[in-house]
């Protein structure tokens, strides 16, 4: 076989090996992102025309998150924030709008103490998506209601409060540090549906008082389905 044929054959072998390696690396990367981001991976892919663009975005979020040192709360902080939440939950009966805003602010405070960047909502949501992908959609929906301001109905505010509770529970009770993170960068966690369900149960008492106190709601103009004044 002539020398030039050997050269051509060698080039073809190199190209094949490179292509196979690329496929293997790409599939491994996709598998790791799917494992870490769960439902967020599907949302990102569905929201863009190119899977590679979605994975590049998630890669960037994961990289930014992994450069941040996040620590668990101390037992004293857990108790203090849990007590703060109970106060806010009691406030919801008479003042659902301010209570939702207070719940959002409390979550930001907790995230800051744990070491998360909290300068803007997009950054906070990205960090939540990397650590609690099953919860971040709750966070987005709750924040959207808060930004509605006085246009939000009492029912929308109630749902937002439940969504905030789902994330709040994760933030104060997750006592695992970054050293507990597995090779994929994800910590083990309960499903978001279960957390949201627990959150709903915890707000049942406040919601029940709100329903039973119809006269009080009338005085505030806060019938369910009506817009707060």
Q: Are residues 44 and 121 in the same domain?
A: no
In a domain, 228, yes or no: no
Q: Are residues 42 and 82 in the same domain?
A: no
Q: Are residues 38 and 99 in the same domain?
A: no
Q: Are residues 40 and 86 in the same domain?
A: no
Q: Are residues 101 and 175 in the same domain?
A: yes
Secondary structure string (H, E, C) spanning the chain: CCHHHHHHHHHHHHHHHHHHHHHHHHHHHHHHHHHHHCHHHHHHHHCCCCHHHHHHHHHHHHHHHHCCCCCCCCHHHHHHHHHHHHHHHHHHCCCHHHHHHHHHHHHHHHHHHHCCCCCCHHHHHHHHHHHCCCCHHHHHHHHHHHHHHHHCCHHHHHHHHHHHHHHHHHHHHCCCCHHHCCCCCCCCCCCHHHHHHHHHHHCHHHHHHHHHCHHHHHHHCCCCCCCCC
pLDDT in tens, the chain (229 residues): 678 777 777 888 788 877 777 667 677 777 888 888 888 988 888 888 788 889 999 999 999 999 999 999 999 999 999 999 999 999 999 999 999 999 999 999 999 999 999 999 999 999 999 999 999 999 999 999 999 999 999 999 999 999 999 999 999 988 655 645 544 454 444 434 444 444 444 444 444 444 444 334 433 333 333 433 3
How high is the pLDDT of residue 22?
65
Q: What is the pLDDT of residues 141-187, one digit of tens each?
A: 999 999 999 999 999 999 999 999 999 999 998 865 564 554 445 44
Last residue of a domain, one of 13, 45, 66: 66
In a domain, 226, yes or no: no
Give just the sign of the alpha carbon dihedral 167, 170, 172, 177: negative
The tokens of 90 are what?
Answer: 């009691």
In a domain, 227, yes or no: no
The tokens of 65 are what?
Answer: 């998150």
Q: Are residues 113 and 210 in the same domain?
A: yes
The count of domains in the chain is 2
Report the distance separating Cα 126 and Cα 132, nearest Å. Answer: 10
How high is the pLDDT of residue 135?
93
Report the distance separating Cα 16 and Cα 23, nearest Å. Answer: 11
How high is the pLDDT of residue 127?
96
In a domain, 42, yes or no: yes
In a domain, 157, yes or no: yes
Q: Are residues 206 and 125 in the same domain?
A: yes
Full domain range(s) for residue 119: 75-220
In a domain, 225, yes or no: no
Q: Are residues 37 and 123 in the same domain?
A: no
Q: What is the pTM of this model?
A: 0.69
Last residue of a domain, one of 14, 33, 66: 66
In a domain, 173, yes or no: yes
How high is the pLDDT of residue 1?
64
Give just the sign of the alpha carbon dihedral 68, 118, 31, 190: positive
Do residues 65 and 114 touch, judged by C-beta distance below 8 A?
no
In a domain, 14, yes or no: yes
CA 157 centroid distance within chain = 19
What is the widest separation between alpha-carbon atoms in the chain? 97
Q: Are residues 211 and 161 in the same domain?
A: yes
Q: Are residues 140 and 55 in the same domain?
A: no
205-211: long-range pairs with CB below 8 Å, 24+: 206/89, 206/90, 206/92, 206/93, 207/158, 209/93, 210/92, 210/93, 210/96, 210/154, 210/158
The tokens of 44 are what?
Answer: 């990102």
């Amino acid at each position: 076989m002539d020398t030039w044929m050997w050269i051509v054959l060698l080039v073809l072998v190199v190209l094949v090996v490179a292509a196979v390696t690329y496929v293997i690396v790409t599939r491994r990367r996709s598998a790791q992102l799917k494992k870490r981001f769960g439902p967020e991976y599907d949302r990102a892919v569905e929201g863009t025309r190119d899977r590679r663009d979605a994975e590049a975005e998630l890669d960037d979020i994961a990289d930014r998150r992994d450069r941040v040192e996040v620590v668990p709360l101390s037992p004293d902080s857990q108790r203090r924030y849990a007590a703060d939440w109970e106060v806010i939950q009691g406030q919801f009966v008479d003042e659902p709008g301010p209570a939702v805003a207070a719940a959002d602010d409390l979550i930001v405070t907790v995230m800051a103490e744990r070491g998360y960047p909290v300068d803007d909502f997009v950054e906070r949501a990205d960090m939540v998506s990397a650590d609690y992908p099953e919860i971040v959609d709750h966070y987005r929906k709750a924040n959207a209601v808060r930004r509605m301001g006085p246009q939000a109905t009492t029912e929308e505010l109630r749902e937002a409060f439940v969504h905030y509770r789902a994330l709040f529970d994760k933030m104060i009770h997750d006592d695992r540090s970054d050293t507990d993170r597995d090779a994929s960068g994800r910590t083990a966690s309960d499903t978001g549906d279960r957390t949201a369900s627990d959150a709903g149960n915890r707000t049942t008492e406040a919601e029940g008082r709100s329903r039973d106190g119809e006269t009080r709601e009338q005085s505030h103009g806060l019938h369910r389905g009506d817009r707060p004044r």
